[in-house]
């Protein structure tokens, strides 16, 4: 992978990120690399930048400064362009942004020398159909969540896999997750942890009325269709916890594997199980 242009996206309003960017700009320039800043990031330090969609078309690699949320939003933009991402963790848990601040420069040196391996992560493609018309579509890295509002009654979600009827969940909602997203909302709702290299989809009901409705892991090539059949007007579709819309009775949410993948740059050998032990405080 030849690197000439490097894009940088940071979490908005994060002082640590802005300070790091100011240090990184001369560091990259001294080595002959052109830097393209995302517009909001650039404006916070008084420079000019470009929109995220444009950034994805211009750069060979993307450096993301922030937490997993910043990585998720960046991944949705650059995945269709096959742009690899190096995540620098300035947030909390950091399951996706694995490089710590103390490791920034050594990780960047390895990236520039082509010494980073590339880890591909499965993504999902979600569409919403209303009266047969597609009214929304998104590509996501973590999860697609259908959930009721805080004061709404339990909702009914008629669910099919590859056009085969599975069940009608009576629950607070349903999570459709990638293996990468298995350590996010899915984990909080009692779903299983899946190794991120796996090719499958997790279906986890949220507080199901029928206690035998347990999480289900299905092949990655499957297509899931979920139809809202209850009258509730307080139901929402949320994608990666960041993008959302209201659903109406009769709406169908289709979820399947995306043709795009998130490409994460891994600057060193790592043990996924060690990451789990550290992030989830196992054995303490």
Give the active site residues.
68
Task: Convert 41-76 to b/e letters by CB count within 10 Å (16 or more is b).
Answer: bbebeeeebbebeebbeebebbbbbbbbbbbbbbbb
Collapse the DSSP code of 192 into the 3-class scheme (helix H, G, I; strand E, B; otherwise coil) and give the result.
coil
Nearest to 44 by CA among 72, 21, 74: 21
Q: Say how far apart CA 177 and CA 266 lie, in whole Å.
A: 23
Longest dimension (CA), the chain: 62
**Exposed (0-12), middle (13-18) or buried (19+): which is 198, by Cβ within 10 Å?**
middle
State both tokens at 252. 């169908």
Q: Say how far apart CA 51 and CA 39 lie, in whole Å.
A: 5
Q: Say how far apart CA 207 and CA 96 lie, in whole Å.
A: 27
The H helix count followed by the E strand count for the chain is 7, 16
Q: Say how far apart CA 235 and CA 241 lie, in whole Å.
A: 15
Non-local CB neighbours of 134 within 8 Å, separated by 6+ positions: 127, 128
Using the structure block, give the residue that is written with the tokens 């002082």.
15
Using the structure block, give the residue that is written with the tokens 């490409």.
263
């Amino acid at each position: 992978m030849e690197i000439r242009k490097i894009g940088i996206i940071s979490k908005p309003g994060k002082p640590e990120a802005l300070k790091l960017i100011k240090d990184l700009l001369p560091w990259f320039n001294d080595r002959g690399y052109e830097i393209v800043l995302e517009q909001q990031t650039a404006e916070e330090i008084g420079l000019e930048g470009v929109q995220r969609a444009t950034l994805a078309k211009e750069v060979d690699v993307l450096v993301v400064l922030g937490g997993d949320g910043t990585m998720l939003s960046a991944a949705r933009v650059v995945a269709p362009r096959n742009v690899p991402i190096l995540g620098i963790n300035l947030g909390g848990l950091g399951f996706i942004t694995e490089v710590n601040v103390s490791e920034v420069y050594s990780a960047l040196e390895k990236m520039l020398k082509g010494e980073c391996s590339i880890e591909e992560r499965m993504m999902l493609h979600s569409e919403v159909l209303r009266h047969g018309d597609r009214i929304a579509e998104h590509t996501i890295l973590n999860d697609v969540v259908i959930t009721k509002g805080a004061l709404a009654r339990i909702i009914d979600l008629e669910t099919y896999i590859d056009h085969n009827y599975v069940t009608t969940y009576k629950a607070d909602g349903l999570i459709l997750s990638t293996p990468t997203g298995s350590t996010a909302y899915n984990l909080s709702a009692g779903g299983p942890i899946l190794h991120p290299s796996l090719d499958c989809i997790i279906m986890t009901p949220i507080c199901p009325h029928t206690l035998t409705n347990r999480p289900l892991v299905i092949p990655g090539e499957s297509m899931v269709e979920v139809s809202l059949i209850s009258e509730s007007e307080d139901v929402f579709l949320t994608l990666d916890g960041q993008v959302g819309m209201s659903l109406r009775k009769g709406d169908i949410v289709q979820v399947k594997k995306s043709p795009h993948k998130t490409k994460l740059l891994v600057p060193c050998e790592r043990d996924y199980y060690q990451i789990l032990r550290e992030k989830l405080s196992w054995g303490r």
